[in-house]
Amino acid sequence: MTVRHEHYFELLERRLALLGELAAALRDSTDALVRLDIERIDQTVGDQERLCGEILSLDRGLDSLQRKCAAGLDTRGEGGRLEALLGRVAEAQAEVRQLNKRHAALVRRSRRTLDAMLNFLRSAAPTYANPHLAGTAAGGRD
């Protein structure tokens, strides 16, 4: 196996690791959203952005290297190492895709719930307003 082929395997393994980290970040973000842990939500969104950026950068290198050497690789060679690795990457991508769909659905539902709560608060604001914040005391006294 050439150095180029070995580098291709390394990049695929790195992509697999990053996909695993992204899946964990999505699970953490979903848990934080359910708990309404705003700080954790912010942190996990930052983690997701960073991981997506790393995956995108890695994919550029993979695409270039794949064009150069993948045609010469036997997917069953080395005991099926490439075939197995590509299968694991595909599984990880499918998991991330599924977690992303679930998380997006939760965010949409949460947004509708929060919008409904905000509408309620806006409509009830005059009823429950603090008279001291309005500039006058209750009953027209200062």
- Per-residue pLDDT at 120 exceeds 70: yes
Q: pTM for the full model?
A: 0.69
pLDDT score, position 70: 54
Q: Is 132 helix (H, G, I), strand (E, B) or coil?
A: coil
What does the pLDDT look like over 56-101, one tens digit per residue? Answer: 999 988 887 776 665 565 555 565 788 888 899 999 999 999 999 9
The number of beta carbons lying within 10 Å of the beta carbon of residue 117 is: 10
Output phi, psi for 37, to 5 deg: -90, 90
- Residue 124: band (very low, low, confident or very high) from pLDDT cuts 50, 70, 90: confident
Task: Decide: helix, strand or coil at residue 68.
Answer: helix
pLDDT in tens, 5-18: 788 889 999 999 99
CA distances from 74 to 3, 5, 36, 83, 138 (A): 15, 11, 49, 9, 83
